[in-house]
C-alpha cells in the first residue's frame, strides 16, 4: 500500500471515530420559557438540576431562561421561540399552546404530580413603610386617593390574578352580586395609574420610580423586594382573603421531539417535584407541594384564607371568556379608564 493511500485511510478512520464520539460529548441545551417573577428561582434550580443530570448521565446540560409577562411568553412560543419547557403561573398560558398548533399535549396536566403544578403562590400587598394609607384589605384599594400598581391583566398572569382576587373578594362581600362586584373592580382598576406588561415591570414602577401607594404582587416577589431593596422601605400586608395561584409546567412536545431533548426536559420538570427541588422552591418563598417542606418552612407562609379559580370562579375556561376575551369585562372597564 502506498504511503498516500495509507494516510488517506488513517485520516478517514480518525474522521469516522470523531463523528461516532461527537454525540457522546455534545452538551444538551434546554430553554425554559417562564413568567416574570420566577427569574431568581430558576437561577438556583438550573445549576442544581445540571449537577444532578451530569452525575447520572456524565453529560453536561445547559439551561437558558426567558422571562416576561406570562401571556406574552406563551405568545412568543406560539410565534416560534423554541422552548423545551414552559413554566407559567396560570393554566391558560399552557392550554393555548395545546389549542394553537398542538405544541403541548392535551393531557399535559396528567404528566406530572399535582396537575403539573410544583408550587403555588398567593396575591398580597406591598405598601410604603408604615402603611401611610392604612391599606389592610381589597376594599382599601378601591378608595379614592389610593394609587394601585398592578401589571396588565391582558399580558400578565400576575395582573390577571389580581383582577380575579378582587373579583372573588367582591363576590364574597356582596353575596354573589356581579353588578356590585363589577362596580368594585372598576373602582379598584380606576386607581391604577399605569399598567406594566409584567410583574417585574410593575415592581420597578413601585420600588424604583416611586409610583403608587400599594403594589399587588405574588408573595414571593414581595419578600424578594424587601430583601433586594432593603432599608425597611416597605411593609407586607396579607388581605383577609386572597387567590391561590398554582404554577403549571409542561414539556413543549413539538420542540423536544425536534431537538431530541424529551428525556432531559422531562427530567428537568420532574426535578421541581423532588425533595431538592421543593426545598429550593420553598427557600424562594413559593409554597411547595411537599407537606414535609411546607411544614419545615411554615414560618415563611402565614395562614390565610384563599380560593382558586376552579373553586370559586367556575374555572379558567369560564373566566377567560367572561373577563379577558376581547370585549370581555376587563376590556369594558379598561375602556372607561
pLDDT digits (tens, 9 = 90+) for 83-110: 999 999 999 999 999 999 899 999 999 9
Look up residue 205 and give its three cell numbers: 414602577
312 shares a domain with 172? yes
C-alpha cell at 57: 448521565
Best CA proximity match to 143, nearest among 236, 213, 218: 213
Asked if residue 81 and residue 30 are part of one domain, the reply reads yes
Query: Are residues 330 and 263 located together in one domain of the fold?
Result: no
Task: Say if residue 18's pLDDT is above 60.
Answer: no
**43-89 tens-digit pLDDT:** 999 999 999 999 999 999 999 999 998 889 999 999 999 999 999 99
| pLDDT for residue 143 | 98
Indicate if 213 and 317 belong to the same structural domain: yes
How much is the pTM?
A: 0.86
pLDDT for the residue numbered 8: 41
Enumerate the β-bridge partners of residue 243: 307
CB of 245 closer than 8 Å to CB of 90 = yes
Residues 38 and 80 in one domain: yes
Are residues 117 and 246 in contact, defined by beta-carbon separation less than 8 angstroms? yes
Is the domain of 126 the same as that of 189? yes
Q: Are residues 207 and 308 in the same domain?
A: yes
Distance CA 139, CA 50 (A): 46
- Give per-residue pLDDT as tens, 148-182: 999 999 988 899 999 999 999 999 999 999 999 99
Over its C-alpha atoms, the chain yields an Rg (Å, rounded) of 23
Kindly write down the DSSP assignment for every residue of 259-309, as one continuous string: HT-HHHHHHHHHHHHSHHHHHHHHHTT-EES-HHHHHHTGGGS---EEE-H
Whether residue 125 is found in the same domain as residue 239: yes
Query: Are residue 129 and residue 219 in the same domain, yes or no?
Result: yes
Is residue 311 domain-shared with residue 240, that is, in the same domain?
yes
How far is 8 from 15, CA to CA, in rounded Å?
A: 11
Do 103 and 17 share a structural domain?
Answer: yes
For residues 188 and 316, state if they share a domain: yes
118 vs 141: CA distance, rounded Å? 31
What Cα–Cα distance (Å) separates residue 132 from each residue in 54, 75, 138?
52, 39, 16
For 112, the domain range is: 2-117+248-296
Q: How many domains does the chain have?
A: 2
Q: List Cα–Cα distances, 89 to 4, 277, 305, in angstroms.
A: 64, 17, 20
Looking up residue 51, the CATH number of its domain turns out to be 3.40.190.10
Amino acid at each position: 500500500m502506498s504511503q498516500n493511500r495509507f494516510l488517506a485511510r488513517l485520516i478517514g478512520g480518525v474522521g469516522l471515530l470523531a463523528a461516532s464520539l461527537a454525540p457522546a460529548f455534545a452538551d444538551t441545551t434546554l430553554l425554559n420559557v417562564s413568567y416574570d417573577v420566577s427569574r431568581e428561582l430558576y437561577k438556583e434550580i438550573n445549576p442544581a438540576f445540571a449537577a444532578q443530570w451530569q452525575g447520572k448521565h456524565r453529560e453536561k446540560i445547559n439551561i437558558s431562561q426567558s422571562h416576561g409577562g406570562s401571556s406574552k411568553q406563551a405568545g412568543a412560543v406560539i410565534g416560534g421561540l423554541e422552548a423545551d419547557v414552559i413554566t407559567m403561573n396560570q393554566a391558560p398560558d399552557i392550554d393555548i399552546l395545546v389549542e394553537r398548533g398542538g405544541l403541548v399535549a392535551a393531557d399535559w396536566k396528567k404528566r406530572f404530580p399535582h396537575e403539573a403544578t410544583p408550587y403555588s403562590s398567593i396575591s398580597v400587598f406591598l405598601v410604603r413603610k408604615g402603611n401611610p394609607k392604612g391599606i389592610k384589605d381589597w376594599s382599601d384599594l378601591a378608595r379614592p386617593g389610593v394609587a394601585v400598581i398592578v401589571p396588565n391583566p391582558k399580558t400578565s398572569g400576575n395582573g390577571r390574578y389580581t383582577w380575579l382576587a378582587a373579583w372573588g373578594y367582591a363576590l364574597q362581600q356582596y353575596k354573589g352580586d356581579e353588578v356590585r362586584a363589577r362596580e368594585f373592580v372598576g373602582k379598584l382598576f380606576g386607581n391604577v395609574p399605569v399598567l406594566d406588561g409584567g410583574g417585574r415591570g410593575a415592581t420597578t414602577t413601585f420600588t424604583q420610580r416611586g409610583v403608587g401607594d400599594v403594589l399587588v404582587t405574588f408573595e414571593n416577589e414581595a419578600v424578594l423586594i424587601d430583601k433586594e431593596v432593603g432599608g425597611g422601605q416597605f411593609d407586607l400586608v396579607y388581605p383577609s382573603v386572597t387567590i391561590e395561584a398554582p404554577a403549571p409546567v409542561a414539556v413543549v412536545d413539538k420542540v423536544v421531539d425536534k431537538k431530541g431533548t424529551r428525556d432531559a426536559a422531562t427530567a428537568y420538570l420532574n426535578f421541581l417535584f423532588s425533595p431538592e427541588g421543593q426545598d429550593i422552591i420553598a427557600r424562594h418563598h413559593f409554597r411547595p407541594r411537599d407537606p414535609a417542606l411546607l411544614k419545615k418552612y411554615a414560618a415563611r407562609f402565614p395562614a390565610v384564607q384563599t380560593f382558586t379559580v376552579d373553586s370559586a370562579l367556575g374555572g379558567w375556561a369560564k373566566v377567560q371568556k367572561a373577563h379577558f376575551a376581547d370585549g370581555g369585562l376587563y376590556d369594558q372597564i379598561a375602556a372607561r379608564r
